[in-house]
């Protein structure tokens, strides 16, 4: 989602990540209060919108959001618990707001926009992959996209090469740099991720800075730019209990961070 947002900014479809929610989301929610209408897209990208609902502390928050009648309205009617940009607060519901923003700005579904501007360029046949939609028909902006390990590797190559894939510029180097820069402290909300960029967790080990994307149950894309290392890992996530999912998530990432990177 962050990559697609960057592509939209690069192409002038969205003026910048400093645009606010109020510019795009009235179409999906009958009423947005002044505080939320002023939240910047960058606050969403850094998980610092100020909107309450921390699913790392309260895992049921994701399910409450997912099963609501209107997922965007659900998020936009929750109370604020801090000022935008002030505090990291992991919430897939706020990430999903970008799906509404991109759909409104481009006039296409996020999947169609991604197919044309990202996946086709990476030689990923997104038509063969499932991408969940909400009750309003918007592609899930926080989860629900199935990709193969090889697809994830291609995304890793795109970022390792600073927005270029097989000699072609897909997203600007400036956007990649901002996305993978330490934008906010997570206050160690998640192991191995003390900082956050634009939807990337950021840390350091063995003298190397890394950044990674991760999914429920242990799906990982880890990039270590200095040594040109990309590590992709997947685990079984369907029909397993939360305790098992958390254990395999931690053990897989621990192996990557503490053992694989140390080889270099």
pLDDT at 31 over 80: no
Specify burial of residue 13 (Cβ count, 10 A radius: 0-12, 13-18, 19+).
Answer: middle
Q: What pTM does this model have?
A: 0.96
Q: Which residues pair with 165 in a beta bridge?
A: 168
Residue spans of alpha helices (H) in 67-128: 71-76, 92-106, 110-114
Per the CATH hierarchy, to which homologous superfamily does domain 1-147 belong? DD-peptidase/beta-lactamase superfamily (3.40.710.10)
Please give the C-alpha separations between residue 249 and each of 38, 64, 102, 136, 200, in angstroms, as whole numbers: 35, 22, 30, 31, 16
Nearest to 134 by CA among 146, 142, 124: 142
**Ranges of CATH 3.40.710.10 domains, the chain:** 1-147, 148-264
Q: Which fold has domain 148-264?
A: Beta-lactamase (3.40.710)
Give residue-wise pLDDT tens across range 163-215: 999 999 999 999 999 999 999 999 999 999 999 999 999 999 999 999 999 99
* Confidence tier at 28 by pLDDT (50, 70, 90): confident
Give residue-wise pLDDT tens across range 83-96: 999 999 999 999 99
């Amino acid at each position: 989602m962050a990559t697609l947002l960057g592509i939209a900014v690069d192409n002038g479809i969205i003026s910048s990540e400093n645009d606010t929610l109020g510019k795009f989301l009235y179409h999906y929610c009958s009423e947005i209060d002044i505080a939320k209408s002023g939240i910047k897209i960058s606050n969403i990208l850094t998980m610092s919108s100020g909107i309450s609902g921390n699913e790392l502390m309260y895992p049921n928050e994701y399910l409450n959001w997912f099963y609501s009648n209107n997922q965007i309205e659900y998020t936009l009617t929750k109370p604020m618990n801090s000022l935008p940009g002030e505090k990291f607060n992991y919430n897939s519901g706020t990430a999903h707001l970008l799906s509404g923003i991109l759909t409104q700005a481009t006039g296409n579904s996020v999947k169609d926009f991604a197919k044309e501007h990202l996946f086709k360029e990476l030689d990923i046949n997104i038509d063969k992959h499932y991408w969940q939609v909400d009750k309003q028909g918007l592609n899930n902006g926080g989860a629900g996209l199935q990709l193969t390990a090889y697809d994830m590797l291609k995304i890793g190559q795109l970022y390792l090469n600073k927005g270029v894939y097989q000699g072609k510029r897909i997203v600007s180097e400036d956007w990649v740099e901002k996305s993978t820069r330490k934008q906010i402290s997570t206050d160690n909300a998640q192991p191995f991720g003390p900082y956050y960029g634009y939807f990337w967790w950021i840390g350091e080990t063995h003298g190397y800075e890394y950044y990674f994307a991760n999914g429920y149950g242990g799906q990982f894309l880890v990039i270590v730019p200095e040594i040109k290392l990309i590590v992709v890992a997947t685990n079984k996530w369907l029909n397993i209990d939360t305790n098992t999912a958390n254990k395999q998530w931690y053990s897989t990432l621990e192996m990557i961070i503490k053992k694989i990177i140390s080889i270099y």
